[in-house]
Amino acid sequence: TIVENIEQSRKDGQDRVSKLLSNLQAVSVDIQGLVKQIIYEPTRMANILEELGTIELDLNKLVITKKLDLPEIIPKGELQLESIIGLTINTEGLVQSCLATPFDDSNATEAEAAPINLSSCDECSLTDESLSADFISTTYPVDCLASDGFNVMYTSTDTSPYIIAYCHLGNNEGDLHRVWHQPRVVDMIYWNTIGKFVCATNKGVYTVQYNNGKFKIQHTIRSNTWNDLRVATNKNDLWVWLNPGKRGSDSIEIYSNFFEHTRTIKFGGSIPDSFRRGISFSVANKCVASINTRPQNNGEVVQINVLDLDMKRLKSQDLGSCTGLVQIRTDGYNRFFITTGQRSIHCVSVPGKKSIIAIEYSGNTIAVVNKQCLAIGDSNHDLELVEI
């Protein structure tokens, strides 16, 4: 009967909530133990954060009209069980809200399962968002920037000689650094699959592994013929765009996570010329996007072009004015973020909507810390952290 079905649903809901509370309490105990330890354990912290992410996903599936107070076990938490449940967890400095969920593209199964379908894209949807932000002072001016999901590594060319530095987003200590004796870094990203930063130079590609204040640098792809290049990664591959903007010598070379060359993409054919004119690019697990700029009305306009991994056009869209200092990065879930050199960040989802995120200062470089947070550099001593 209807009454019996309602009663069964109520019992099922209670069981689900009880299980979630039990899981959250177990994670709370783990965090309490981690706080008491002197030695930093990144693997254990990553496991805890992954468990919290799983709990949050389960919470978002519940539709309940009730409020529960969790037991006061560090970290303190509250579940507001209304139309959709929101989870807020305070660990008093261990994990800040902006750093609560490290980026891990191996957990993107739900996002990967959704096919890319342009017919569902809402090109006319445009919203302006003013989101919470925080500021981190870096020891040195920021040039290139990338994040490992917890903190950021950056290069600084205002020093002599050049340096690379690692900035802890959770404290105000000076940034650990080392001299960069290699050629100048022109692009940098973090490859979660191998747990290393990937640095592009005109002499090839270097990896940097940071661990407890030490930088381990390796020259993984060598070349004496590259004039310029950009790098991007997804879960499986490293994409190296050689000589962007130099027709006749430009191509995209793809490497495995063992840095074995697996494929060459030659421009022309079905690849749109607007994509080829890109000055920055980024690759997700199902698509790749580049951005270009062109003059318009005494200024410049930035345009995004998105292709599938077979280099077939998916999406092309003008995003608005820019100063020429533009860069694109992805969170790995077919969502791209673009700096404009101005006080705004464009967010483009494939498929999906375009939105604009307002920031305090002009953004030049950008790193996706995790699916909840962006780090934006303005070539000064500040990083702006924007919670998304």
Identify the CATH number of the domain in which residue 224 sits. 2.130.10.10
Same domain, 197 and 293: yes
Same domain, 251 and 335: yes
Same domain, 84 and 139: no
Same domain, 176 and 226: yes
Task: Identify whether the C-beta of residue 327 lies closer than 8 Å to the C-beta of residue 339.
Answer: yes
pLDDT value of position 188: 98
Same domain, 69 and 126: no
Same domain, 11 and 157: no
Q: Is residue 112 part of a domain?
A: no
Q: Is residue 303 part of a domain?
A: yes
Same domain, 124 and 91: no
pLDDT value of position 97: 47
Same domain, 56 and 165: no
Give the count of domains, the chain. 2
Angle subtended at Cα 79 by Cα 78 and Cα 84, rounded to the nearest 5 degrees? 145
Instruction: Give the list of residues 6+ apart from residue 95 with CB closer than 8 angstroms, or none.
Output: 31, 45, 49, 89
Q: Is residue 100 part of a domain?
A: no
Last residue within a domain, chosen from 95, 130, 161: 95
The single-letter code of the amino acid at 300 is E
Strand order in the sheet with 196-201: 187-191, 196-201, 204-211, 214-222
Q: Is residue 103 part of a domain?
A: no
Tokens of 126: 């445009």
Q: Tell me which residue has tokens 């290393």.
A: 196
Task: Identify whether the C-beta of residue 304 lies closer than 8 Å to the C-beta of residue 279.
Answer: no
Task: Identify whether the C-beta of residue 307 lies closer than 8 Å to the C-beta of residue 275.
Answer: yes
Residue 189, classified by CB atoms within 10 Å of its CB into exposed (0-12), middle (13-18) or buried (19+), is: buried
Domain with 71, as residue range(s), is 2-95
Q: DSSP letters of 3-28?
A: HHHHHHHHHHHHHHHHHHHHHHHHHH
Q: Is residue 111 part of a domain?
A: no
pLDDT value of position 355: 94
CB neighbourhood size of 197 (10 A): 26
Radius of gyration of the chain (CA): 22
Q: Is residue 176 part of a domain?
A: yes
Same domain, 209 and 326: yes
Task: Identify whether the C-beta of residue 370 lies closer than 8 Å to the C-beta of residue 149.
Answer: yes
pLDDT value of position 4: 60
Instruction: Give the list of residues 6+ apart from residue 146 with CB closer than 8 angstroms, or none.
Output: 152, 153, 154, 188, 189, 190, 197, 198, 367
Instruction: Give the list of residues 6+ apart from residue 106 with CB closer than 8 angstroms, or none.
Output: 192, 235
**Tens-of-pLDDT digits for all 388 residues of the chain?**
554 655 666 666 677 777 767 777 776 767 766 665 555 566 667 777 767 777 766 666 554 433 434 444 344 444 443 333 333 333 333 334 455 545 454 444 444 444 444 333 344 444 455 455 689 999 999 999 999 999 999 999 888 899 999 999 988 789 999 999 999 999 999 999 999 999 999 999 999 999 999 999 999 999 878 889 999 999 999 999 999 888 888 999 999 999 999 999 999 998 999 999 999 999 999 999 999 999 988 899 999 999 999 999 999 999 999 997 899 999 988 899 999 999 999 999 998 889 999 999 899 999 999 988 999 998 777 899 998 8
Residue 161, preceding peptide bond in cis (omega within 30° of 0): yes
Same domain, 54 and 144: no
pLDDT value of position 179: 97
Same domain, 38 and 184: no
Same domain, 132 and 87: no
Question: Strand 299-308 and strand 313-322: pairing?
Answer: antiparallel
Q: Is residue 358 part of a domain?
A: yes
pLDDT value of position 255: 98
Q: Is residue 109 part of a domain?
A: no
Instruction: Give the list of residues 6+ apart from residue 369 with CB closer than 8 angstroms, or none.
Output: 98, 99, 103, 147, 149, 150, 152, 169, 375, 385
